[in-house]
Structure formats: structure tokens, C-alpha cells
Amino acid sequence: MIEKSFRMTFFLKARKKSTEELRHIFLRLTVNGETREISTKLDWSKKRWASKTGMATGTKEDALRLNAFLDSIKIKVMQARLQLMEKGKDVTVDALRNLLLGESEENQHLLQIFKRHNAHMESLVGSEFAPGTLERYKTSFDHTKAYIKWKYGKDDIEIGKLDFEFISDYEYWFKSVRKCSHNTTVKYLANMKKIVLDCVKRGWIPRDPFMNYKLVKKEVYREALTEEELERISKKVFPTERLNQIRDIFIFSCYTGLAYIDVKNLGKQQLITGFDGERWLVTHRQKTNTPTRLPLLPQALRIIEKYENHPVTEVTGKVLPTPSNQKTNAYLKEIADLCGINKELTFHIARHTFATTVTLANGVPLETVSKMLGHKSLTQTQHYAKILDNKVSEEMKALKEILNTKSTEGKRPGIRKPRF
């Protein structure tokens, strides 16, 4: 990119929630119409500032000292500009900013970048990211740190060393040293890829080391309860109130498709009367922040009514008194044993049960199920349809009847079979 225009100036920016005369001093860089602002970490009075020149006014010693410092910054900008030209690199506003802040590719290290990424993500938890997403990236950071120590014997490496070998050995490390499954390994490599692509976009790496590396997850069979197993759990009377309560919360998820965290966070204000006069559930999935809207089935409504005046729900305003995920899954194992179900019963099976046994198996279209589950694309929902052998059997039986009927009609007297 050829540099056609270049400009730099200093300006004052007001402090947040402050009525003081002091303002922050910023440097504004403009190259080919692109602008970036850099804080000088200094403050100055707006009464002693000339906006036209971008300098302090007066002849007092503090003003002269400040202007000398700002001049030194200008010199550093011009040196950075010259450095880019001598190396044959494009003079862009981001390249200048990176050099000035010591963020050029020569100074960048992988874990430093990863740490900044996670800090940025942490500041956006609740608005753009879920807490679970941040935890996954923090875990990925720890894995990357351990891998670098294992492979290079260092605490960090320059991002210029990221290549296909780094990625390939990283996969081997996960599977051999960490004993991770293939899909878990792919998940962590995908987190790393996000960091790497950000470096590529910023021009810190000339090419993407993942370019010829395929991140493909193996298809996993998603277990769900059968209609008979769901009925068995629903009707079972357990010896303790604790187990009955966990069963009810689990069954509620089986008939709504909500994940554990969405059930736990579900507030009474999210239950509304829909346009059809029926009770609806309106929420957002915490994992993806996608909306979920669905009419409540009678089984779910009965559970809501059962806990409407429960001491916990009255205090918290939540729909159900949901304990921690760890406790819930531990109690579900007890429930599976008492019901004679030979499956590893976890809360997530309830979501799979809603998708398959409750909806798809009863003729609800895939597109409708996808919307109720809060999936971003139909592809996420399609894997549920693949495991419905009973549905395939029913459709094939119907097809056989149609074909048999056609065959019988063709054999009736007076009806000739067509000649080909």
C-alpha cells in the first residue's frame, strides 16, 4: 500500500465522569484516511492548550517540558515511518502504532498476545462473551504455556516461529502427553487458530500456519432417553425430596430443551402469554446468546406450577430451585440407578432427549426444532436427526405400504402394466 497522505497531531480528550479541567493527551495518527489514537498517559489543562497547534501554551517550565516530550514522540513517529520504508513494508496506521507501542512482529511473543486476548475477552464477559467461553480460553492459554515449555524449553516464543510444525506437534502433544481425545484436541487447536488469525490480520505473521491444516471433528453419537425411559423417570417416586426435585428439573429440560445454565438462570419474568394465548418461554442461550422462544408443553407447565411457591424460587425469582451442575449430575447418577437405566445420565442428555424423543420423533420439523433449541444454523441440529432409527423405520414402513398398494393395483383385472 502506497502512502498517499500522512498526518499526526496531539489533542485533549475528556476524562470519563469528571468535571475537572484536566484532560488526557492523545496522539492521533492518520495514514491514507485511516486513523488511530494513542494515549500518551499524560494529562493537561484545557485552559493551557492550543487546539490548532496541538501543544501546550505559555512559557512556564511545565509547558516547555511537556512540549519537548511531545516533540520527542513526533520524532519517534518519523523514525518508525522511516523504519517501515527501509524494510520495504507498507506504511499503515496500524504498522506505525505497533512499532510505537512495541507491538511489531520482532517484539511479539505468543503467550503475551494470548494473555492480552483473554484480558480483552474478560472485559466483555456478559455483553459479548459467556463466562464459560473465557474459561475455555484461559485453559487453552495454560495448555499452550505447558506445550511451549515441553517443546522449546522456554517460557514463551516469538510469533515468527509459528509454522505448520508448531501446529502439528501441538496436536501430537495433546493426544500423547495430555491424553486428550481427537475432538477435545480440535477444540483447543481452534482456540489457538483464533489467536493466530488475529496475528495474521495485524501483519505480525506473513502467512497462516493453519492454512493446510484441517480441523475436523469426528462425529459423536449423542445419547438420548427413549420414550419408555423418559416415562419411567417421570413416574418414579424417589425416597428423598432431593432426588424428586432433581428429577423434576431434569424432566423440565427434557420438555423444553434448555441447557443446565439456562434452566438455572430462567426467571419468572421470562414466562409470558404468547400471541396464541398459551404460556411461552422466552430467553437467550447463555452459550451463544441466541434467542429461544417456545410454547410450554403440559409436562413442563406442571413442573413450573409445582415450584411456583417454593421458598427458593420466591426469594430468587427463578422458575426452578436448581442446585450446582456438579451436584445435579451426581444426583442424576443415583436416579439412573434407581430407575434401572444403563446410561450415563447427565443433564445434557435432557437437551438431546428434547431434540430427538420429544420433538423430531413425533414429527416436529427439523427447522422448528432448530429454532426452539436456539441453534445458529440448521447444521447444528441435523446430527440429532441421524440417530432416529425408529423414525427411519416408520418412514420406510409407510413407503412399503405405498409401493405394495401400487403393486396390487397393477395386478387387478383390466389394468395393464405399462410397457417400457
The CATH number that applies at residue 315 is: 1.10.443.10
148 shares its domain with 91 = no
Q: Residue 215 domain-assigned?
A: no
Q: What is the rounded end-to-end Cα distance, in angstroms, of the chain? A: 68
In this prediction, residue 387 carries a pLDDT of: 55
Residue 304 gets which letter from DSSP? H
Q: Which amino acid is at 48?
A: R
- Which of 15-24, 118-127, 162-171, 401-410: highest mean pLDDT? 162-171
Q: Residue 404 domain-assigned?
A: no
92 shares its domain with 121 = no
23, 3 Cβ separation under 8 angstroms: no
**315-345 pLDDT per residue, tens:** 999 999 999 988 998 999 999 999 999 988 9
Residue 208: which pLDDT band, with cuts at 50, 70 and 90? confident
CATH of the domain at 127: 1.10.150
Q: C-alpha angle with apex 173: 133 to 163, nearest 5 degrees?
A: 85
Q: What is the mean pLDDT of residues 211-216?
A: 83
Q: Is 126 left (phi over 0), alpha (psi -120 to 50) or beta?
A: left
197 shares its domain with 321 = no
In this prediction, residue 24 carries a pLDDT of: 92
Q: How many domains does the chain have?
A: 3
248 shares its domain with 359 = yes
**232-277 pLDDT per residue, tens:** 999 999 999 999 999 999 999 999 999 899 999 999 999 999 888 9
Does the pTM surpass 0.75? The reply is: no
Q: Going by C-beta distance under 8 Å and a sequence separation of 6 or more, which residues neighbour residue 236?
A: 247, 335, 338, 339
Q: pLDDT over 70 for what percent of the chain?
A: 90
Q: Is 326 helix (H, G, I), strand (E, B) or coil?
A: helix
In this prediction, residue 420 carries a pLDDT of: 43
Mean pLDDT in the chain? 86
190 shares its domain with 265 = no
pLDDT surpasses 90 at 58: yes
74 shares its domain with 192 = no
State which of 63, 81, 100 marks the end of a domain: 100
Q: Which of 196, 234, 175 lies closest to 353 in space, CA to CA?
A: 234
Q: Which domain holds residue 92?
A: 6-100
Q: Residue 89 domain-assigned?
A: yes
305 shares its domain with 250 = yes
State which of 71, 100, 129 marks the end of a domain: 100
In this prediction, residue 109 carries a pLDDT of: 87
